Structure formats: C-alpha cells, structure tokens
A and B are shown apart, each in its own frame.
Chain A
Amino acid sequence: QVQLQQSGPGLVKPSQTLSLTCAISGESVSSNSAAWNWIRQSPARGLEWLGRTYYRSKWYNDYAVSVKSRITFNPDTSKNQLSVQLNSVTPEDTAVYYCARDPGNLGYGMDVWGQGTTVIVSS
C-alpha cells in the first residue's frame, strides 16, 4: 500500500528557508491520477492547506494564497519523493507539516498521510 515518510529539520531560524521531504512508496510521484498535497496544523490556524503538485503529462502546482509567494514544490522522480520549500519563515510558520495523497477518485479527499513533522521557527 502507499506510504509517505517525511523528513526534515524541526528547527528553522526566522527569515530562513524551511525544507521538508516526503518519500513515497507504493505509488509513483508522477502518477497520472494522484495529487500530492502539503498541509500544516497549528493551534492558531487549525488545518491549513499549503498547496499541491501533480503530473498530467507535465507538472502542475496549486498554491494557497497565504503562502503563494514563498512556497516551492520539487518532485524528484529519480528518488520518488517530493519536497517543499517555504522561504522567509516567521514564527507564524511554526506548525506540524504533513504531506498527503489525493488519489484522484475521492473528491479531493486525501487518504494517505505522512507522519507529520513538527517545525519550530525560532532563533
């Protein structure tokens, strides 16, 4: 079955770049039906969708307005993983970050999630 394994630093300094990786097993990152989402949760903001990347003969991205100017997705087909970079972070970016799969047939529902990575933005 599909599994997502997240990795990345848990502490990032303000103004620096947050980078996380989500290794995928059981499905190709360049699947023609799935979309790969990034979501975060914080006490102040609840669950917040950050964006998604998906492959349909070429790569497409959608971003949340709140982070659109600061976020980048990088799918790596050679390693079958995806990564996210969020630059110019502030303490408001402190949250638990998740990657999640939308298989494409669940009405935007995300059925497989990574284990979550707690990221603290602090000097």
Chain B
Amino acid sequence: QSVLTQPPSASGTPGQRVTISCSGSRSNIGLNPVNWYQKLPGTAPKLLIYSNNQRPSGVPDRFSASKSVTSASLAISGLQSEDETDYYCSTWDDSLNSLVFGGGTKLTVL
C-alpha cells in the first residue's frame, strides 16, 4: 500500500485533457513539494514536474500540475499517443523521514 494514493488507471482520447490525482496527508504533501515522473517501459523515470508546478526544460507545456493542501494533480492537455505510459507522484514524508511515491497511474490514449 503506497503512502500516496493515485488511481491505477486513467484514459482519454487524442487532443483531450486528462488529470491524474495524488492524495496524501499532512506529513507529506501537506508539508512538502510534489514531483511527478513519467515512466516509459524499459527506461528510467523522467522528471516531469518538480516543486508542485514547475516544468524542467524540455518538458512540453501540455503538462501542468497543481497542489492543494494534501493532494496534487497532474494535467495533460492535447493528449497524444506518446503520452500513453505510467505516471508517478512523489514527495518527502516528514513522519517517515523518507521519500515516498504514489502507486502509479497507467494512462491509456484511446
């Protein structure tokens, strides 16, 4: 059971906007910034969003994120077939003194 809760799956059609949620608690999301990773099969995770809503250089602005109290969400607009993969949220947990991940969300582009 992951400390951060994500829906196991999400889906959308090309061009659509989809959101993926990440629910935590005060000791993690409530106190620390949230990061999002894109995980393609056979490759290392890629940092997609850092510090709640910042995009590293090279990440398209189709990807955005937000945080509110103890939850966060990743939004992908203008959905493309290449976006079909797994997405993970992550943050630091002050109670566990550990970095924690969500269980991951598999995004399907219909």
Contacts and interface: CB of A to CB of B under 8 A. Distances in A.
Interface of A: 37, 39, 41, 46-49, 52, 62-65, 98, 100, 106-111, 113-116
A107 B52 contact: yes
**Category for how many chain B residues contact A:** 20 to 34
B59 to A, nearest CB: 11
Given A52-B99, A64-B98, A109-B35, 16 more contacts: A37-B99, A46-B103, A49-B101, A65-B96, A100-B44, A106-B35, A106-B50, A106-B51, A106-B56, A107-B50, A107-B54, A109-B33, A109-B90, A110-B35, A111-B47, A113-B45
A47 B4 CA distance: 12
Contacts, number: 73
Nearest to B88: A47
Contacts of A47: 37, 39, 45, 88, 90, 101, 104
